[in-house]
Amino acid sequence: MVAARAPWSRTIERGQMLRIVDLEGRQAVDFLCYNAHDPADRYAAADTMKINPSGIFLTVGTVLYSVEITPLFTIVADSCGFHDTIGGCCSAPINAFRYDAPYQPNCRDNFIAELGKHGMGKEDIVANINFFMYVPVSEKGEMDMGPSLSKPGDYVDLRAETDALAVLSNCPQINNPVNDYNPTPIRVVVWTPGA
Ligand SMILES: [Zn+2]
């Protein structure tokens, strides 16, 4: 269980599975991943969108590529269908700019805290995935943050294609509807197929 607003990380060995479950629904999960043997070889949002036919909405069959075009994870199951890779993560500065909000827990600070456990810091944050977050884009190119469409129990299964460090933030955002204004817990499960 990952509590509402909390971060989490773990190295997933090649062939292992990572499941992320949106227990109560409408909960965005911000996600970064790195080649465990070379942290500079990290998730590349633009290349992932260019290479995969799934485009900006990640789903079954989407491969998460790194900047060296190393396959890091493949999405092998998805009960939701809307996972974003263009919306980025929430932060104290953007919350102040867009919502005039006082300091609140946020994904950027969660990432910084969690990356610190692995010898990395804010300079290692790149454009991230948002599982269970719906970012519609209009014909004119306008984008919106939510509303979230995920249902209670929705999950996504990721197979590690190399030893990969997964870092996530259970999004604390309360200023827009990506979490239905109510951050909730998620479940993370790691397993080895056949074991
Ligand atoms: Zn967030």
For residue 129, the CA-to-ligand 1 centroid distance in Å is 11
- Euclidean distance between CA atoms 155 and 6, whole angstroms: 18
Using the predicted structure, report yes or no on whether residue 71 has a pLDDT greater than 90.
yes
For residue 30, the CA-to-ligand 1 centroid distance in Å is 6
Q: Which domain holds residue 56?
A: 7-191
For residue 136, the CA-to-ligand 1 centroid distance in Å is 17
For residue 186, the CA-to-ligand 1 centroid distance in Å is 14
**Mean pLDDT score, 12-27:** 97
For residue 92, the CA-to-ligand 1 centroid distance in Å is 10
Q: In this predicted model, what pLDDT tens digit does every residue of 123-165 receive, in sequence order?
A: 999 999 999 999 989 999 898 887 889 999 999 999 999 999 9
- Euclidean distance between CA atoms 16 and 127, whole angstroms: 24
The predicted pLDDT at position 112 comes to 98
Q: Do residues 51 and 16 make contact, with C-beta atoms less than 8 angstroms apart?
A: no
Token reading at 17:
């599975």
Residue 126 burial (10 A CB sphere; 0-12, 13-18, 19+): middle
For residue 170, the CA-to-ligand 1 centroid distance in Å is 7
**Mean pLDDT score, 162-183:** 95
**Mean pLDDT score, 87-111:** 97
Using the predicted structure, report yes or no on whether residue 59 has a pLDDT greater than 90.
yes
**Mean pLDDT score, 111-130:** 98
For residue 31, the CA-to-ligand 1 centroid distance in Å is 10
pTM score, whole prediction: 0.96
- Euclidean distance between CA atoms 59 and 74, whole angstroms: 9
Total number of domains constituting the chain? 1
Q: In sequence order, what are the beta bridge partners of 175?
A: none
Percent of the chain with pLDDT over 90: 89
The predicted pLDDT at position 53 comes to 92
Using the predicted structure, report yes or no on whether residue 191 has a pLDDT greater than 90.
yes
Give rounded-to-5 percent helix, strand, coil for the chain.
15, 35, 50
In a domain, 60, yes or no: yes
pLDDT band at 55 (very low <50, low <70, confident <90, very high): confident
For residue 162, the CA-to-ligand 1 centroid distance in Å is 27
**Mean pLDDT score, 77-91:** 95
The predicted pLDDT at position 145 comes to 85
The predicted pLDDT at position 22 comes to 97
Element (H, E) at 114: helix 107-116
The predicted pLDDT at position 54 comes to 86
In a domain, 152, yes or no: yes
In a domain, 2, yes or no: no
In this predicted model, which residue has the larger pLDDT, 146 or 67?
A: 67
The predicted pLDDT at position 94 comes to 96
